[in-house]
Amino acid sequence: MEGTEGAANVDGDGDGGDRPWQSYHTVYTTAKAGMEGVDKEKVQRVVYEMSKGSKYFQNEERKEAFINQKIQNLRIQCAKLTQADLAHYRKVADRRIVELEASRDLSRIWLHVDMDAFYAAVETLSNPTLQGKPMAVGSMSMISTANYEARKFGVRAAMPGFIARKLCPELIFVPTDFKKYTYYSDLTRKVFRIYDPNFIAGSLDEAYLDITEVCKERNVKSEEIAQELRAGVYEETGLTCSAGVAPNRLLAKVCSDINKPNGQYVLPNDRMAVMTFVSSLPIRKIGGIGKVTEHILKGVFEINTCEQMLEKSCYLYALFSQPTAEFFCSVGLGLGQTDSPQVRFRKSISNERTFSATEDEVLLHKKLVELAEMLSADMQKEGLCGRTLTLKLKTASFEVRTRAVTLQKYISSTEDILKHAKKLLKAELPISVRLIGLRVSQFNGDKCSATPDPTQKTITNFITSGDVNRNGSSFPDVADRDFVSDAETNLSVDNQQQTSQLDWRDPFVGNYLSDGDYQSCVLQKNDGIEEVQTPSNDATSSHHSGFTEALGSTSFQGQFEGINVMNESKLLEGASLNSCCQETTMLWLNDYKCSLCGIELPPSFVEERLEHSDFHLAEKLQKEESRIHQPCVPSGSPKRYRRDAYGKEEKERVENSANVHNGDHRRLNEPNHQRAPHPTQQEKRGSIAQVGQSSGQRKAGERGWWKDTRKQFNERAETSHRREQRDDKSQAKPDDNTFQRRDDFSERKDDPLPTSRKRPAFREKRIPVESGDVNLVVGRNDRKKEERSNNPQHLGRPEKPFADDRAPNKVGGRRDGFPSRGRRYGGNDSYRGRDKFNGRQGYSLDKIQTEKWKHDLYQDVSKDPIPQNEDDKIAKLEALLAS
DNA sequence: GCGGATCAC
DNA sequence: TATGGTGATCCGC
Ligand SMILES: Nc1ccn([C@H]2C[C@H](O)[C@@H](COP(=O)(O)OP(=O)(O)OP(=O)(O)O)O2)c(=O)n1
Ligand SMILES: [Mg+2]
């Protein structure tokens, strides 16, 4: 902590200037285990030298500049807070903290186990001659992970191989082999199951086990279980792993990293122990707090440790959304999830490929076909059908773009996917890209293994088409019906003859619409009826889908719930106002909240308030005007128009034939099912790196700082129980292979119940800031707003890698072996917890918006935030906290 | 619903 | 020469 304080005088950070290599984006997260003793500065310099000037680097710089701008804006907002504002947020924050404290659950014992240098260790098992030599799994382009010998040189996961080789000329590269990793992963899970049949598998190499019962039944200490478990894993696989034990998953994960290579650390279920542990813990160690979040918290609030989250809590509540601020505070309290998450199903399936940047349309088309085929195969393997297709492109300059369409029909066939993907791609066309990806989401209920073939589809479409037409959305078919594609083709061809668009003839023959087609689509639509309807349709559509989701999906529930709450609160709160002068008068309730939208705006934000009231006025005028004029659609540039037309077209279709389609699909889909959900869950790892550099202040002591922390933790532990939590590496030496059978894992089925915390919707606070404007503007041509970050799911997470390793394609060149696809999802789970403590945050600084929860906060404080019946409890906790 | 972004492994 | 792939979630529109 001492070092931490020093960090307070951060300043602008020394990037840029004399030591450009220290810019935080060049910092590979060197905080990972095994980086002790590494000359970080040297690594930084090498990385910088090797990257400097590259397109990749330039893009990183661009992103960093953007974030720095955001930091600036946040600082400005901070500076604007008056004493009164701070007092207000102080109150809000304190109240929340007390409530969070009240939710602390120390009854469970969680163990997080994480294999050491997993892929590398497995490779070493296969080839013992690699032992003791610096080695990395991956290629010259990208490294998946590196063994500890290599880490001494600064080599690490996600680092391009050519840079790694620069750092360590003798580095041995081993290609990835996911089958192997999966095999060993299964072996480890077999051991995990012994201690917790419902363990939560994170990725291939990590898992969370609730060992509460085992400890109780066998009357043994958690550390003994950890020892035993690790020994068991070693015996079964010949691989070493590390474990962390704590009262919740978030901390267990942090603990498993403390004595990382082949060690363990136990954090007792004791509040003081937890608070002490967390007090000096760097925020970056927390899953969900990544490079950007760390940079922002450090840059704006000078927060380096979890404890400081509490110290700055009022600022956090003042500048971020409640869920975000709450997450941060919960981290400061060392809270995390302790329940057993419910099974979750995958929400999307995707695939993407990187290749040498090209603008060759034929080539791109080819890629698209391959992706569509693979994706379709994966979907059918799992019996999935989805209605939203998203195309992802990464330009030669590393800028990522996504374009999506939501269809009325659920699709899964290569043809369907391709048909729409081509349209999306074409709209972006002339473009030089280095990556193309496809993703399908919005699954039909869940599974729909049926519909795997054209046959059924054809029938469905046939029926569908009739309905669609009946509804008047004539053109629409293009997008949906498969069989109709013939018609579509014809149409397309015709148009092509008329309008042309040679470039696309080859690759996209028949399926693609030329610009002319788009236009005619639009025209047809207009003729058909639309425009007038559009407005109302949109509204309906939106509402409808929202409703549906709320009913069917837990994850979205919160959102809608939130909206409802907002409305209600509006009504409640401003009842007297709303009922009579809602539209005309805007008041600042309690001198903080807008009576119309609920946004909270401190009195000191004079300009913002004026702007805000102007906004409502404008809104009102606009409404009135539209009432008079009605619809009419302005169109932008041709290109843009094209896209819009496409999207709108789809939307309408959804509306018009939703019922019919749903019926059909349901029938088709229901049948199969089987998706063994194996709820793997995972957590992220918070270890990391050193952005430290960027903050000049702690540069010197940084490495030592955390190291010391580790030492402290160990000492403390030893002192109290004298047990060596740290194993000697002696115990395990991954040498001989021991492989055996495989197994599969089980899943967790408990249903957790939603607990207290409402879903974190991570919005930010939205304090209007004029500076926000600046920010927004900063965005480039298209837009770009600000950002946010989020999430960790210390919970579920699907598993990713999978054995397949399907040869990635490469176009111009090489290809690396990465997990190309994550099948194995058999179940996925990924849950996420919408629950409590997952990290996420959103930073923004943008305009103003109505922030519902903000109001909630306000109400909480000024009215009656705390449930009566809990007063006592709270009071007690308060006393506890005070002590 | 869409697009941009973060995070994790 | 050369900077990955898969999935989830958030936020502001
Ligand atoms: N950006 C990343 C990070 C990790 N992995 C893969 C390779 C790792 O072997 C595996 C597990 O990730 P870990 O973060 O647990 O890293 P290791 O197990 O390799 O090392 P450690 O000993 O630090 O756990 O996931 C990857 O492909 N890409
Ligand atoms: Mg690991």
**Per-residue three-class SS string for A316-377:** HHHHCCHHHHHHHHHHHHCCCCCCCCCCCCCCEEEEEEEEEEECCHHHHHHHHHHHHHHHHH
Q: How far is CA A21 from CA A40, A151, A291, in A?
A: 11, 19, 16
Sequence-distant (≥ 6) Cβ neighbours of residue A851 within 8 angstroms = A321, A598, A599, A600, A763, A765, A766
Query: In a mutational test of the pocket of ligand 1, which residue from A38, A118, A184, A729 has the highest number of ligand atoms less than 8 Å from its CB?
Result: A118
Count Cα neighbours of A301 within 13 Å in the Cβ-side half-sphere.
25
Ion ligand 2 neighbours, Cβ < 5 Å: A 114-115, 118, 205
- pLDDT value at residue A767: 36
Q: In this structure, is the CB of residue A386 within 7 Å of any atom belonging to strand C? A: no
Q: Which residues contact A20 (CB under 8 A, 6 or more apart)?
A: A48, A52
Q: Is the CB of A376 under 7 A from strand C?
A: no
Protein CA at A759 to nucleotide C1' at B7, angstroms: 18
Active site residue A206: yes
Helix axes A40-51, A55-80, angle to 10 degrees: 120
| Ligand in closest contact with the CA of A146 | 1
Residues 6+ apart with CB under 8 A from A439: A348, A349, A350, A351, A389, A390, A392
Q: Which nucleotide is nearest to A776 (CA to C1')?
A: C12
Structure tokens at A427: 């709209």
| H or E element, residue A132 | none
Task: Provide the whole-model pTM.
Answer: 0.64
Residues A473, A750: Cα–Cα separation, whole Å: 45
Host H or E run for residue A83: helix A83-102
Residue type, A312: K
pLDDT for A674 equals 25
Q: What is each CA distance from A521 to A325, A461, A647, A857, in whole angstroms?
A: 47, 19, 11, 48
Instruction: Write down the pLDDT at residue A60.
Output: 96
Q: Which two tokens stand for residue A355?
A: 């290749």
Query: What's at A165, amino acid-wise?
Result: R
- 3-state SS of A222-277 is HHHHHHHHHHHHHHHHCCCEEEEEECCHHHHHHHHHHCCCCCEEECCCCHHHHHHH
Angstrom distance, A817 CA to C2 C1': 14
- CATH 3.30.1490.100 domain span(s) along chain A: 348-443
Count of alpha carbons within 13 angstroms of residue A435, beta-carbon side: 16
Q: Where in chain A is the domain with CATH 3.30.70.270?
A: 110-269
- Residue A680 Cβ under 7 A from any strand B atom: no
**Catalytic pick among A61, A99, A206, A608:** A206
For domain A110-269, the CATH architecture is 2-Layer Sandwich (3.30)
Q: Which two tokens stand for residue A440?
A: 């399908």
pLDDT at A445: 81
Does domain A348-443 sit in CATH 3.30.70.3450? no
Question: Which residues of chain A carry a pLDDT beneath 50?
Answer: 1-16, 447-595, 598-607, 609-610, 612-709, 717-883
- CB of A762 lies under 7 Å from some atom of strand B: no
Q: Which of A811, A751, A529 is nearest to A652 (CA)?
A: A529
Structure tokens at A594: 């807008």
Could you tell me the distance, in angstroms and rounded to a whole number, from the CA of residue A165 to the centre of ligand 2?
A: 22
Task: Report residues whose beta carbon is within 6 angstroms of any ligand 1 atom.
Answer: A 32-33, 114-119, 144-145, 157-158, 203, 205, 260, 685
A561, A564, A589, A585: which is closest to A574 by C-alpha? A589
A362 and A134 Cβ atoms separated by less than 8 Å: no
Nearest nucleotide over every DNA/RNA strand to the A390 CA, judged by C1': B2
Return phi, psi of residue A763, to 5°.
-115, 165
- Which pLDDT score is estimated for A24? 76
Output phi, psi for A114, to 5 deg: -140, 125
What does the pLDDT read at residue A620? 44
Q: Tell me if A609 sits within 8 A of A80, measured CB to CB.
A: no
* Residues near A391 by beta carbon (within 8 Å), at least 6 away in sequence: A402, A403, A404, A421, A424, A425, A428, A436, A437, A438
> Cα(A14) to centroid of ligand 1, in Å?
30
CA-proximal residue: ligand 1, atom 10 (nearest): A118
Report d(CA A282, CA A1) in Å as an integer. Answer: 9
Half-sphere exposure of A674 (CA within 13 A, CB side): 8
DSSP letter at A846 equals: -
Question: Ligand 1: which atom is nearest the Cα of residue A818?
Answer: 27
